[in-house]
Chain A
Amino acid sequence: MKNGMHFIRGLFLKDMPQNSSKNHSSNQQLDVTSHTPKSPRTKMVRSSDDNEKKNLVKKLKDIEISVPIVYGNIAFWLGKKASEYQSHKWTVYVRGATNEDLSVVVKRVVLQLHSSFNNPMRVVESPPFELSESGWGEFEIAITLHFHSDVSEKPLHLYHHLKLYPEDDSGSLSVKKPVVVESYDEVVFAEPSEGLFARVQNHPAVIVPRLPAGFSLPPVPAEDADKRKRIDPKDNPLTQWFTNFSEADELLKLAAARQQVQAQIARVRRQLSLIDGQHQQQLKPPSEL
């Protein structure tokens, strides 16, 4: 169908009208109301708050906010009290990287345990987002983070392999020293809404970039102090075992590696240009072509 093909080609040569930018409208629009207690909780509200809501919903392009988290498990061997089926007591958790309160963005955490557990699907509704159990086996736990509606509609999945036994095979199980396995990661929220940005910009758990100068955010009622008075994670007895993740070490190593590679690249380039110089001389007389 030659005609058809030409038609298609013509389509691509002309610029198709752009309709992308403001299309992520309003699955978020309703839910902003949950954080501004003034506005009524109705769907199609055409009130004076409409403008304000629109501002809150507007997406901040090219801006991302990230929440560094650490997830993992701590396992204590029960020693004398250990039985065949309950040899360890372990806790799997998701925490802020600096032990901050994640409930600013996380609504609840769902953990899917091995099917041999009763009610393998466990839900933790409030911080600290952790779950303690006793058992004998290591398995993969599927952790799902559900966020507040103004943060994200979609949940995020993490996977953690529960570790009970220490790496070294000598297996010096000690009751006092637990096995700790943690993974650092950052949850990135791309193009957050203005409302969300305003809400979290001063929260220690969230890394918020600088807004371009002159940018003004709509006013949002500050997080109530009593909301913060939930269980302060710093009082958690497990805190002493948490690893401190620092990026400095890694950055240093990476910078050093890059320098090395760049030096090598420069060297190879010099060699290449040398050879090309030789080639140019060789090809000066017309060769057989």
Chain B
Amino acid sequence: MDAKDILGLPKISLPIPQEKKSRPQKDSQRKPDGISREVYALTGGVAPLMPSIDVNQLKKRQQPENEKITWEWLSFTNSARKDDLKLYHWVRVVNGTPPSGDYSFAKYNKSVDVIKYTDEEYEKHLTDDSWTKEETDQLFDLCERFDLRFVVVADRFPSSRSVEELKNRYYSVSRAILIARAPSPADVSGHPLVKEPYNISQEIDRKRALSMVLSQTKQQERKDAEILSEAKKIMESRMAAKAAQDAELAVTSNTSPEGMEKTTAPVETASPSNVQATSGVAPLMSMADNAASAAASLRMLRVYLRTYALDQMVQAASSSAGLRTIKRVEQFLQELKVNLKPKVPTKAVCAEHLELRKEILTLLNLQKLLQNKEEGSSYREGSYTETPDTPKDRSFIPDSVSFGAISTERVGKRDQKRKGPGREAPSSPAQSNKRPRKLKATDS
């Protein structure tokens, strides 16, 4: 600023005193009337340019000045009270006359209509083996006092009865009385008590189930979710098997729920073993199941195109293979000069095409296996799960498809566990073919 002064620019010197002038003005403006400084600051320190609410829209205060309003400390009575207690409170008195009418809160004194039976009625309709008249009378008295709050009633009941028992007795008595007093059964048939009587066993079960759900630990929740998903899988495989109505398929679907059942049993143990076991069983089933469910779904369709059918079967066959494998199969097909989608899709051609694809899959899996074994043999502790493959290899030739599925599965796992600890294998080569080994840390 001084520099400008020196340079002799007089005009600029003027705003400075102006600023100084405006600032004290602003400061005085800042002290608003009626509200504190902090609150005023919320509006941004400036009064709002326009009123946020249109004043005309607000209701005018109804206060015609011809009335004289005073407030007086007066006594009042409450009709809801049984005694004549007189309490005091402030009352708005208009023109000297106090307000009339009941205490405004008296209308909220509601109570339940608890049925009152006579002794005769008791003798006639309400006798019960497990309830004496005394107890029943006590029950009803408590119910009336506590407005049918059965939890409270149960607490106060002299002999210990569960809430459900009390409810049961109360509702059945009321129901019996209702029916007995009704001029004709039709009149009361609409009454909720008559239409839907209290079902004590159902209630007990329901509450027990509820409390169990409430007290479920996180682990149990997880287990339940797992079981549910497995149940769903079983359902689906069962649906496919049923729709197909094939004897062979019925066998596989019978083994798969059993397989699932057996795998859920060791769920109690460490969960990693569970994951492997189910995933081990799944691919074997998945190959056969996929083909079965694909065939079943096609049959459901009734009318379909051969190309569509081929696509479905191809998808089913390659479902256990990853995307890369599928691409490799297609590459192979191209190398063999075979069309990826046959140009003349007759039944025979499609069947051959499908078989060819399956064989290529098998070949690729075998090649991968071979590769792994060759690499595995370079490690001294090459005691992976390879060895048990050999007996399976020989015995599995007819069923190359499912074998391919197992080894893809296992190969995938082995790829992840390259540097894992070795497993002893040769002692039991004759294992059940359907169950891959669980990779446990300790082995027998």
**Residue A21 lies at the interface, judged by CB distance under 8 Å to chain B:** yes
Mask of A146-158 contacts with B, CB within 8 angstroms, 1/0: 0100011010101
In contact, B227 and A9 (Cβ under 8 angstroms): yes
Contacts known (A251-B352, A269-B366, A287-B381); A187 close to B422, Cβ less than 8 A: no
The 3 closest A-B pairs by CB, nearest first: A186-B306, A276-B390, A257-B336
**Residue A246 lies at the interface, judged by CB distance under 8 Å to chain B:** yes
Interface residues of B in 355-383 (CB under 8 A from A): 355-356, 359-360, 362-363, 366-367, 369-370, 373-374, 377, 381-383
In contact, A190 and B304 (Cβ under 8 angstroms): yes
In contact, B343 and A184 (Cβ under 8 angstroms): yes
Given contacts A13-B257, A273-B393, A279-B386, 16 further A-B contacts (CB under 8 A): A3-B209, A12-B231, A16-B238, A20-B243, A188-B306, A190-B304, A250-B342, A254-B353, A255-B352, A258-B359, A260-B336, A272-B393, A275-B373, A287-B422, A289-B383, A289-B422
In contact, A247 and B346 (Cβ under 8 angstroms): yes
Interfacial residues, chain B to chain A (CB-CB below 8 A): 209, 212-213, 216, 220, 223-224, 227-228, 231, 234-235, 238, 242-243, 245, 257-258, 261, 264, 298-299, 301-307, 309, 332-333, 336-339, 342-349, 352-353, 355-356, 359-360, 362-363, 366-367, 369-370, 373-374, 377, 381-383, 386-387, 389-390, 393-394, 400, 422-426, 443
Name B363's closest neighbour in chain A (CB-CB): A265
In contact, B393 and A254 (Cβ under 8 angstroms): no
- Which of A13, A147, A282, A289 is close to B303, meaning CB atoms less than 8 Å apart? A147
Contacts known (A16-B238, A147-B303, A282-B382); A1 close to B363, Cβ less than 8 A: no
Instruction: Please report the C-alpha to C-alpha distance between residue A184 and residue B370 in the assembled complex, in whole angstroms.
Output: 40
Of residues A186, A254, A258, A283, which shows the largest number of chain B Cβ atoms within 10 Å of its Cβ? A254
Of residues A12, A18, A20, A154, which shows the largest number of chain B Cβ atoms within 10 Å of its Cβ? A12
Contacts known (A12-B257, A272-B370); A187 close to B305, Cβ less than 8 A: yes
Instruction: Please report the C-alpha to C-alpha distance between residue A68 and residue B243 in the assembled complex, in whole angstroms.
Output: 27
Chain B residues, CB < 8 A from A283: 383, 387, 425-426
Of residues A8, A256, A261, which shows the largest number of chain B Cβ atoms within 10 Å of its Cβ? A261
**Residue A268 lies at the interface, judged by CB distance under 8 Å to chain B:** yes
Instruction: Please report the C-alpha to C-alpha distance between residue A265 and residue B366 in the assembled complex, in whole angstroms.
Output: 7
Instruction: Please report the C-alpha to C-alpha distance between residue A147 and residue B302 in the assembled complex, in whole angstroms.
Output: 12
In contact, A152 and B336 (Cβ under 8 angstroms): no
Instruction: Please report the C-alpha to C-alpha distance between residue A184 and residue B299 in the assembled complex, in whole angstroms.
Output: 21
**Residue A212 lies at the interface, judged by CB distance under 8 Å to chain B:** no
In contact, A66 and B306 (Cβ under 8 angstroms): yes
CB distance from B435 to the nearest CB of A (A): 19
Q: Can you list 10 A-B contacts (CB < 8 A)? A: A66-B347, A151-B303, A154-B302, A187-B306, A245-B344, A251-B352, A261-B359, A265-B400, A268-B363, A279-B377
Chain B residues, CB < 8 A from A213: none
Contacts known (A261-B359, A279-B387, A282-B382); A247 close to B348, Cβ less than 8 A: yes
Instruction: Please report the C-alpha to C-alpha distance between residue A9 and residue B258 in the assembled complex, in whole angstroms.
Output: 10
**Residue A191 lies at the interface, judged by CB distance under 8 Å to chain B:** yes
Of residues B234, B305, B387, which shows the largest number of chain A Cβ atoms within 10 Å of its Cβ? B305
Interface residues of A in 11-54 (CB under 8 A from B): 12-13, 16, 18, 20-21
In contact, B387 and A275 (Cβ under 8 angstroms): no
Interface residues of A in 51-81 (CB under 8 A from B): 61, 66, 68
Instruction: Please report the C-alpha to C-alpha distance between residue A245 and residue B235 in the assembled complex, in whole angstroms.
Output: 43
CB distance from B51 to the nearest CB of A (A): 56
Instruction: Please report the C-alpha to C-alpha distance between residue A280 and residue B373 in the assembled complex, in whole angstroms.
Output: 13
Chain A residues, CB < 8 A from B209: 1, 3-4
In contact, A279 and B363 (Cβ under 8 angstroms): no
**Residue A201 lies at the interface, judged by CB distance under 8 Å to chain B:** no
Name A244's closest neighbour in chain B (CB-CB): B344
- Which of B234, B348, B383 is close to A12, meaning CB atoms less than 8 Å apart? B234
Name B224's closest neighbour in chain A (CB-CB): A5
In contact, A261 and B356 (Cβ under 8 angstroms): yes
In contact, B348 and A251 (Cβ under 8 angstroms): yes
Name B426's closest neighbour in chain A (CB-CB): A283
**Residue A125 lies at the interface, judged by CB distance under 8 Å to chain B:** no
Contacts known (A9-B261, A13-B257); A265 close to B224, Cβ less than 8 A: no
Instruction: Please report the C-alpha to C-alpha distance between residue A247 and residue B367 in the assembled complex, in whole angstroms.
Output: 32
Contacts known (A20-B242, A257-B336, A258-B352); A264 close to B363, Cβ less than 8 A: yes
Chain A residues, CB < 8 A from B423: 289
Chain B residues, CB < 8 A from A254: 338, 342, 349, 352-353, 356
Contacts known (A21-B245, A276-B390); A258 close to B302, Cβ less than 8 A: no
In contact, A247 and B349 (Cβ under 8 angstroms): yes
Instruction: Please report the C-alpha to C-alpha distance between residue A180 and residue B304 in the assembled complex, in whole angstroms.
Output: 25
Chain B residues, CB < 8 A from A152: 302-303
In contact, A185 and B345 (Cβ under 8 angstroms): yes
Chain B residues, CB < 8 A from A210: none
In contact, B359 and A262 (Cβ under 8 angstroms): yes
Name A288's closest neighbour in chain B (CB-CB): B381
**Residue A189 lies at the interface, judged by CB distance under 8 Å to chain B:** yes
